[in-house]
A = this chain, B = another copy of it.
Amino acid sequence: MKILDGKNLSNIIKQEIKESVGVRLSLGLKKPHLAAIIVGDDGASLTYVGSKVRSCEEVGFESTLIQLEKSISENDLLYQIEKLNKNSNIDGYIVQLPLPKHINEEKILLSVDPVKDVDGFHPTNFGRMVLELPSFIPATPYGIMEMLKRYDIKTSGKKCLVIGRSNIVGRPISILMSQKGSYGNATVTVAHSRTKNIKELCLEADIIISALGIPEFIKEDMVKKGVVVIDVGITRILDKTALKGYVIKGDVDYKNVSKKSSYITPVPGGVGPMTIAMLLKNTLKACQKKD
Protein backbone atom coordinates (compact mmCIF):
# COMPACT_ATOMS: atom_id res chain seq x y z
CA MET A 1 0.00 0.00 0.00
CA LYS A 2 1.27 3.42 -0.97
CA ILE A 3 -0.12 6.67 0.37
CA LEU A 4 -0.94 9.31 -2.21
CA ASP A 5 0.57 12.16 -0.27
CA GLY A 6 -1.29 15.22 -1.50
CA LYS A 7 0.36 17.45 1.05
CA ASN A 8 3.85 16.64 -0.15
CA LEU A 9 2.89 16.64 -3.83
CA SER A 10 1.10 19.98 -3.53
CA ASN A 11 4.28 21.42 -1.97
CA ILE A 12 6.29 20.22 -4.96
CA ILE A 13 3.78 21.81 -7.34
CA LYS A 14 3.75 25.03 -5.34
CA GLN A 15 7.56 25.07 -5.49
CA GLU A 16 7.40 24.71 -9.28
CA ILE A 17 4.88 27.56 -9.46
CA LYS A 18 7.08 29.69 -7.24
CA GLU A 19 9.99 29.09 -9.62
CA SER A 20 7.82 30.13 -12.58
CA VAL A 21 6.93 33.31 -10.74
CA GLY A 22 10.64 33.93 -10.13
CA VAL A 23 11.34 33.55 -13.85
CA ARG A 24 8.48 35.92 -14.66
CA LEU A 25 9.83 38.58 -12.31
CA SER A 26 13.36 38.24 -13.70
CA LEU A 27 11.90 38.85 -17.15
CA GLY A 28 10.10 41.96 -15.93
CA LEU A 29 6.67 40.30 -16.20
CA LYS A 30 3.89 40.90 -13.67
CA LYS A 31 3.16 38.76 -10.63
CA PRO A 32 0.10 36.51 -11.01
CA HIS A 33 -2.78 37.98 -9.02
CA LEU A 34 -5.64 35.93 -7.57
CA ALA A 35 -8.68 37.52 -5.98
CA ALA A 36 -11.29 35.80 -3.85
CA ILE A 37 -14.76 37.00 -2.98
CA ILE A 38 -16.32 35.67 0.17
CA VAL A 39 -19.83 36.58 1.27
CA GLY A 40 -20.68 36.19 4.95
CA ASP A 41 -18.70 34.58 7.73
CA ASP A 42 -19.20 30.83 7.43
CA GLY A 43 -16.39 29.15 9.34
CA ALA A 44 -15.47 26.49 6.79
CA SER A 45 -15.59 28.98 3.91
CA LEU A 46 -13.32 31.40 5.79
CA THR A 47 -10.88 28.57 6.46
CA TYR A 48 -10.77 27.57 2.78
CA VAL A 49 -10.39 31.11 1.49
CA GLY A 50 -7.79 31.87 4.15
CA SER A 51 -5.68 28.94 3.09
CA LYS A 52 -5.98 29.97 -0.57
CA VAL A 53 -4.71 33.44 0.28
CA ARG A 54 -1.84 32.04 2.36
CA SER A 55 -0.89 29.77 -0.54
CA CYS A 56 -0.73 32.79 -2.84
CA GLU A 57 1.83 34.33 -0.51
CA GLU A 58 3.84 31.08 -0.44
CA VAL A 59 4.27 31.03 -4.22
CA GLY A 60 4.81 34.76 -4.64
CA PHE A 61 1.41 35.66 -6.10
CA GLU A 62 -0.39 38.86 -5.32
CA SER A 63 -3.76 38.20 -3.69
CA THR A 64 -6.84 40.22 -2.87
CA LEU A 65 -9.50 39.07 -0.45
CA ILE A 66 -12.86 40.77 -0.82
CA GLN A 67 -15.01 40.03 2.18
CA LEU A 68 -18.64 41.11 1.81
CA GLU A 69 -21.52 41.30 4.27
CA LYS A 70 -23.91 38.34 4.31
CA SER A 71 -26.72 40.82 3.61
CA ILE A 72 -25.21 42.15 0.37
CA SER A 73 -27.73 42.37 -2.47
CA GLU A 74 -27.31 40.32 -5.62
CA ASN A 75 -26.87 43.50 -7.65
CA ASP A 76 -24.10 44.79 -5.41
CA LEU A 77 -22.33 41.43 -5.68
CA LEU A 78 -22.68 41.56 -9.48
CA TYR A 79 -21.14 45.02 -9.36
CA GLN A 80 -18.14 43.66 -7.44
CA ILE A 81 -17.74 40.92 -10.02
CA GLU A 82 -17.93 43.40 -12.86
CA LYS A 83 -15.13 45.37 -11.20
CA LEU A 84 -12.97 42.23 -11.05
CA ASN A 85 -13.75 41.44 -14.69
CA LYS A 86 -12.56 44.90 -15.69
CA ASN A 87 -9.50 45.08 -13.42
CA SER A 88 -6.61 44.15 -15.70
CA ASN A 89 -4.29 43.66 -12.74
CA ILE A 90 -6.33 40.66 -11.57
CA ASP A 91 -5.63 37.50 -13.57
CA GLY A 92 -8.14 35.20 -11.99
CA TYR A 93 -10.65 35.13 -9.17
CA ILE A 94 -12.98 32.83 -7.34
CA VAL A 95 -16.32 33.33 -5.67
CA GLN A 96 -16.31 31.12 -2.59
CA LEU A 97 -19.41 28.93 -2.41
CA PRO A 98 -21.98 28.53 -0.97
CA LEU A 99 -23.56 31.98 -1.30
CA PRO A 100 -26.42 33.18 0.94
CA LYS A 101 -29.83 31.95 -0.17
CA HIS A 102 -31.09 35.32 -1.42
CA ILE A 103 -28.40 35.32 -4.09
CA ASN A 104 -28.79 33.32 -7.31
CA GLU A 105 -25.56 31.32 -7.42
CA GLU A 106 -26.03 30.44 -11.07
CA LYS A 107 -26.39 34.07 -12.08
CA ILE A 108 -23.22 34.95 -10.20
CA LEU A 109 -21.14 32.14 -11.72
CA LEU A 110 -22.36 33.08 -15.22
CA SER A 111 -21.21 36.66 -14.69
CA VAL A 112 -17.58 35.64 -14.10
CA ASP A 113 -15.48 36.37 -17.20
CA PRO A 114 -14.44 32.91 -18.49
CA VAL A 115 -10.84 34.09 -18.99
CA LYS A 116 -10.61 34.83 -15.27
CA ASP A 117 -12.66 31.82 -14.15
CA VAL A 118 -9.82 29.90 -12.47
CA ASP A 119 -12.35 27.70 -10.65
CA GLY A 120 -13.47 26.43 -14.07
CA PHE A 121 -17.16 26.60 -13.12
CA HIS A 122 -18.37 28.76 -16.04
CA PRO A 123 -20.23 26.78 -18.77
CA THR A 124 -17.79 27.99 -21.39
CA ASN A 125 -14.87 26.47 -19.51
CA PHE A 126 -16.85 23.38 -18.66
CA GLY A 127 -17.88 22.86 -22.29
CA ARG A 128 -14.31 23.42 -23.49
CA MET A 129 -13.06 20.83 -21.00
CA VAL A 130 -15.59 18.23 -22.18
CA LEU A 131 -14.76 18.96 -25.82
CA GLU A 132 -11.02 18.65 -25.00
CA LEU A 133 -10.21 22.27 -25.84
CA PRO A 134 -7.82 24.34 -23.67
CA SER A 135 -9.73 25.45 -20.55
CA PHE A 136 -9.54 25.97 -16.82
CA ILE A 137 -10.23 22.57 -15.31
CA PRO A 138 -11.99 22.74 -11.91
CA ALA A 139 -9.28 22.50 -9.27
CA THR A 140 -10.37 19.32 -7.47
CA PRO A 141 -10.64 17.05 -10.54
CA TYR A 142 -7.53 18.73 -11.94
CA GLY A 143 -5.71 17.85 -8.70
CA ILE A 144 -6.83 14.23 -8.89
CA MET A 145 -5.60 13.91 -12.49
CA GLU A 146 -2.28 15.49 -11.52
CA MET A 147 -1.92 13.07 -8.62
CA LEU A 148 -2.50 10.04 -10.88
CA LYS A 149 0.04 11.44 -13.31
CA ARG A 150 2.77 12.23 -10.78
CA TYR A 151 2.40 8.83 -9.12
CA ASP A 152 2.27 7.28 -12.61
CA ILE A 153 -0.86 5.26 -11.85
CA LYS A 154 -2.02 3.32 -14.91
CA THR A 155 -5.63 4.07 -15.75
CA SER A 156 -6.06 2.98 -19.39
CA GLY A 157 -8.70 0.26 -19.68
CA LYS A 158 -9.17 0.17 -15.90
CA LYS A 159 -12.63 0.13 -14.36
CA CYS A 160 -13.12 3.42 -12.54
CA LEU A 161 -16.09 4.08 -10.29
CA VAL A 162 -16.89 7.72 -9.56
CA ILE A 163 -19.30 8.14 -6.65
CA GLY A 164 -21.15 11.44 -6.90
CA ARG A 165 -22.27 13.48 -9.91
CA SER A 166 -21.73 17.05 -8.73
CA ASN A 167 -20.62 19.70 -11.20
CA ILE A 168 -17.61 20.46 -9.04
CA VAL A 169 -16.14 16.98 -8.65
CA GLY A 170 -18.05 13.87 -9.76
CA ARG A 171 -19.14 14.99 -13.22
CA PRO A 172 -15.86 16.56 -14.36
CA ILE A 173 -13.60 13.82 -12.96
CA SER A 174 -15.77 11.14 -14.59
CA ILE A 175 -15.32 12.87 -17.95
CA LEU A 176 -11.58 13.45 -17.55
CA MET A 177 -10.93 9.84 -16.52
CA SER A 178 -12.79 8.60 -19.58
CA GLN A 179 -11.15 10.92 -22.14
CA LYS A 180 -8.19 9.94 -24.26
CA GLY A 181 -4.80 10.59 -22.69
CA SER A 182 -2.08 8.87 -20.75
CA TYR A 183 -3.93 9.14 -17.44
CA GLY A 184 -7.44 8.82 -18.83
CA ASN A 185 -8.86 6.07 -21.04
CA ALA A 186 -10.53 4.39 -18.07
CA THR A 187 -13.92 2.71 -18.35
CA VAL A 188 -15.85 5.01 -16.05
CA THR A 189 -19.12 4.44 -14.21
CA VAL A 190 -20.84 7.27 -12.37
CA ALA A 191 -22.77 6.23 -9.27
CA HIS A 192 -25.15 8.54 -7.38
CA SER A 193 -28.07 8.58 -4.98
CA ARG A 194 -30.27 6.51 -7.32
CA THR A 195 -27.67 3.85 -7.97
CA LYS A 196 -28.48 0.33 -6.85
CA ASN A 197 -25.92 -2.21 -5.61
CA ILE A 198 -23.21 0.30 -4.90
CA LYS A 199 -21.23 -2.34 -3.02
CA GLU A 200 -21.16 -4.58 -6.08
CA LEU A 201 -19.94 -1.69 -8.25
CA CYS A 202 -17.23 -0.85 -5.72
CA LEU A 203 -16.05 -4.45 -5.63
CA GLU A 204 -15.64 -4.48 -9.42
CA ALA A 205 -13.69 -1.21 -9.53
CA ASP A 206 -9.94 -0.92 -10.08
CA ILE A 207 -10.11 2.75 -9.15
CA ILE A 208 -12.68 4.34 -6.80
CA ILE A 209 -13.07 8.12 -6.67
CA SER A 210 -15.52 9.02 -3.95
CA ALA A 211 -17.09 12.46 -3.64
CA LEU A 212 -20.09 11.56 -1.57
CA GLY A 213 -19.70 13.39 1.74
CA ILE A 214 -20.75 10.46 3.93
CA PRO A 215 -18.02 9.77 6.49
CA GLU A 216 -16.44 6.31 6.24
CA PHE A 217 -19.09 5.08 3.80
CA ILE A 218 -16.63 2.84 1.97
CA LYS A 219 -15.67 -0.14 4.09
CA GLU A 220 -13.06 -2.84 3.71
CA ASP A 221 -15.57 -5.44 2.46
CA MET A 222 -16.64 -3.13 -0.37
CA VAL A 223 -13.30 -3.00 -2.20
CA LYS A 224 -11.16 -5.50 -4.00
CA LYS A 225 -7.50 -6.11 -3.27
CA GLY A 226 -5.17 -3.72 -5.08
CA VAL A 227 -7.79 -1.00 -5.57
CA VAL A 228 -6.72 2.64 -6.03
CA VAL A 229 -8.79 4.85 -3.71
CA ILE A 230 -9.18 8.61 -4.15
CA ASP A 231 -11.19 10.07 -1.29
CA VAL A 232 -12.66 13.49 -2.04
CA GLY A 233 -15.01 13.50 0.94
CA ILE A 234 -14.37 16.15 3.57
CA THR A 235 -16.88 16.11 6.41
CA ARG A 236 -16.40 18.00 9.66
CA ILE A 237 -17.50 15.99 12.64
CA LEU A 238 -17.93 17.76 15.94
CA ASP A 239 -15.50 16.41 18.52
CA LYS A 240 -15.05 18.29 21.79
CA THR A 241 -11.83 16.43 22.49
CA ALA A 242 -10.23 17.72 19.29
CA LEU A 243 -8.16 20.88 19.31
CA LYS A 244 -10.36 22.69 16.77
CA GLY A 245 -13.59 21.25 18.18
CA TYR A 246 -14.05 19.02 15.15
CA VAL A 247 -12.31 16.29 13.18
CA ILE A 248 -12.23 15.85 9.41
CA LYS A 249 -13.46 12.55 7.98
CA GLY A 250 -13.33 11.27 4.42
CA ASP A 251 -15.76 8.96 2.61
CA VAL A 252 -13.46 6.01 3.20
CA ASP A 253 -12.78 3.93 6.32
CA TYR A 254 -9.09 4.62 5.78
CA LYS A 255 -7.70 2.43 8.51
CA ASN A 256 -9.23 -0.74 7.11
CA VAL A 257 -9.57 0.03 3.41
CA SER A 258 -5.93 1.06 3.16
CA LYS A 259 -4.90 -2.52 3.99
CA LYS A 260 -6.40 -3.72 0.72
CA SER A 261 -5.45 -0.77 -1.52
CA SER A 262 -2.46 -0.37 -3.79
CA TYR A 263 -2.74 3.43 -3.48
CA ILE A 264 -4.93 5.55 -1.23
CA THR A 265 -5.35 9.23 -0.38
CA PRO A 266 -5.55 10.15 3.30
CA VAL A 267 -8.08 12.70 4.59
CA PRO A 268 -6.87 15.29 5.42
CA GLY A 269 -3.67 15.56 3.40
CA GLY A 270 -4.84 13.95 0.16
CA VAL A 271 -7.02 15.63 -2.42
CA GLY A 272 -7.56 18.79 -0.33
CA PRO A 273 -4.09 20.34 -0.64
CA MET A 274 -3.95 19.34 -4.33
CA THR A 275 -7.07 21.43 -4.95
CA ILE A 276 -5.37 24.59 -3.74
CA ALA A 277 -2.19 23.85 -5.72
CA MET A 278 -4.19 23.45 -8.92
CA LEU A 279 -6.11 26.68 -8.28
CA LEU A 280 -2.72 28.40 -8.18
CA LYS A 281 -1.70 26.60 -11.36
CA ASN A 282 -4.86 27.84 -13.11
CA THR A 283 -4.10 31.38 -11.93
CA LEU A 284 -0.55 31.15 -13.27
CA LYS A 285 -1.98 29.95 -16.62
CA ALA A 286 -4.48 32.83 -16.69
CA CYS A 287 -1.61 35.25 -16.11
CA GLN A 288 0.63 33.62 -18.74
CA LYS A 289 -2.14 33.83 -21.35
CA LYS A 290 -2.12 37.59 -21.02
CA ASP A 291 1.65 37.95 -21.66
- Distance in Å from the Cβ of A172 to the closest Cβ of chain B? 8
Residues on the B chain within 8 Å of A195, using CB: 157, 187
**A171: B residues at CB distance < 8 A:** 130, 175
Residue-wise interface mask of A (121-136) relative to B, using a CB-CB cutoff of 8 A (1 in contact, 0 not): 0111111111111010
**Is A167's beta carbon under 8 Å from chain B?**
yes
Given contacts A187-B195, A194-B157, A196-B187, contact A167 B123 (CB under 8 A): no
- The quantity of this chain's copies bound in the complex is 2
Q: Are A156 and B194 in contact (CB under 8 A)?
A: yes
Q: Let me know if A192 is at the binding interface, CB within 8 A.
A: yes
A187 contacts B191, C-beta separation under 8 Å:
yes
**Cβ contacts under 8 Å, A194 to chain B:** 156-157, 185-187
* Residue among A123, A127, A131 facing the most chain B CB atoms (10 A cut-off): A127
Q: Which of A102-128 contact B (CB under 8 A)?
A: 106, 122-128
Q: Which residue of B lies closest to A135 (CB)?
A: B123
Q: Which residues of B contact A175 (CB under 8 A)?
A: 171, 175
CB–CB A192/B178 < 8 A = yes
A78 within 8 A of B: no
Chain B residues in 8 Å Cβ range of A167: 130-132
In the complex, A126→B126 CA distance in Å? 8
Residue A201, interface by CB 8 Å: yes
Contact with A122, one of B127, B187, B188, B191 (Cβ below 8 angstroms) = B127
CB of A224 within 8 Å of the partner chain: no
- Distance in Å: Cβ of A5 to nearest Cβ of chain B: 28
Q: List 9 A-B contacts (CB under 8 A).
A: A123-B123, A123-B127, A127-B127, A127-B128, A171-B175, A185-B192, A187-B189, A187-B195, A189-B189
Q: Which A residues lie at the B interface, using CB under 8 A?
A: 106, 122-133, 135, 156-157, 165, 167, 171, 175, 178-179, 185-192, 194-196, 201
